Amino acid sequence: MNPACIEVVEGDRPLLLAQPHVGTWLPPELEARLTATGRARTDTDWQLDRLYADLLAGATVVRARFSRYLIDVNRPPDDRCLYPGLETTGLCPTTDFDGRALYLPGREPDAAECRERLERYWRPYHAALEEQLARLRRRYDHVLLYDCHSIRSRIPRLFAGRLPDLNLGANDRRSAHPALIATAEGVLAEAEAAGYTWVTDGRFKGGYTTRHYGRPETGVSALQMELAQATYMREEPPWSWFEARAARLRPLLARLLAALLETLERRVIGDQS
Ligand SMILES: [Zn+2]
């Protein structure tokens, strides 16, 4: 366990923001084994913590500080493929989204090293998520895990064309209470009037976290929001923040979170279950 690698902010509302891919930390000895591509950490969910900062008072935040190139906490521990038949990256990825090598020749991790990363980084992250969800569940009948992500809008190896701006993932509508999905889609439909594009369960249906924790019948719903990075930042180095775009997007995300919280706290969900 390396406690500095996982950041937890405890809030008192029934909504948890998970940020698995904002981290950039890599152990120095690992970084020395990477190509320039690996060291660039291109597939980071850049500046997502800044994008969501202070959007919802009282939200709990669980954030991984290490890079997904060390281990991807949004992949299952057995590394089974989340999207059979489609290209994806694995638990301890050896290529970036474009298929370029992250490691110098012969320096990739072996199975034992992947197992060690699983114990040292992946399990503590999920232990933190479980602990926080359990803490909130002691207080509320129903809680929501909102998994925050962002990705380049064009990655030909992973999907055709341009990704919609806002990609809601609900594991084929199974990971969240229908009232929460309806709430999110209502806000996204409003966003469409403002020029944003969106989809539910399109290319991204939710990763391991959404699928594993999102079991509404147990009082825990989960939704993934995969944002096209172009909605707030430059999609190439140096990954600059676009203030005007972010200034439009942040109020939309704040409305989305506030609407989800209202649905949770109106106890409509708790009364029904
Ligand atoms: Zn992500």
Q: What is the mean pLDDT of the chain?
A: 94
Residue 271: predicted pLDDT: 47
Ligand 1 centroid–CA 103 distance in Å is 21
Nearest to 218 by CA among 145, 168, 149, 146: 145
- 97 CA → ligand 1 middle, Å: 12
Task: Band the pLDDT of 81: cuts 50, 70, 90.
Answer: confident
Identify whether the C-beta of residue 134 lies closer than 8 Å to the C-beta of residue 213. Answer: no
H/E stretch holding 35 reads none
- The alpha carbons of the chain give a radius of gyration, in whole angstroms, of 18
Query: pLDDT tier at 85 (50, 70, 90 boundaries)?
Result: confident
Q: The tokens of 259 are what?
A: 């609407």
Residue with tokens 């009364």: 271
Q: Are 258 and 201 in contact (CB under 8 A)?
A: no
CA atoms of 273 and 22, how far apart (whole Å): 34
**Three-state DSSP class for 217?**
helix
Distance CA 209, CA 170 (A): 11
Q: Say whether pLDDT at 270 is over 70.
A: no
Residue 147 CA, ligand 1 centroid: distance in Å: 8
**Structural domains of the chain sorted by starting position, each given as residue range(s) with its CATH number in brackets:** 3-266 (3.40.630.40)
CA 231 to ligand 1 centroid distance, Å: 15
Identify the CA nearest to 47 among candidates 222, 250, 196.
250
Tens digits of per-residue pLDDT, 149-207?
A: 999 999 999 999 999 999 999 999 999 999 999 999 999 999 999 999 999 999 999 99
CA angle (127 as vertex; 125, 130 as ends), nearest 5: 110
pLDDT of 224 > 90? The answer is yes
* Measured CA distances, 81 to 31, 68, 90, 169 (Å): 26, 16, 8, 16
Q: Indicate whether this model's pTM tops 0.85.
A: yes
Spatial distance between the Cα atoms of 144 and 261, rounded to a whole number of angstroms: 8
* Contact in structure between 261 and 56 (CB atoms under 8 Å): yes
Distance 26 CA to ligand 1 centre (A): 17
Exposure class string for 170-184: b at 16+ Cβ within 10 A, else e: bbeebbbbebbbebb
Q: How far is the CA of 107 from the centre of ligand 1 (A)?
A: 25
CA 203 from chain center: how many Å? Answer: 14
What's the confidence (pLDDT) of residue 267? 66
- 21 C-alpha vs ligand 1 centroid, how far in Å? 5
Q: What is the pLDDT of residue 272?
A: 45
Residues 6 or more apart from 171 whose CB is under 8 A from it?
Answer: 201, 205, 206, 210, 211, 214, 222
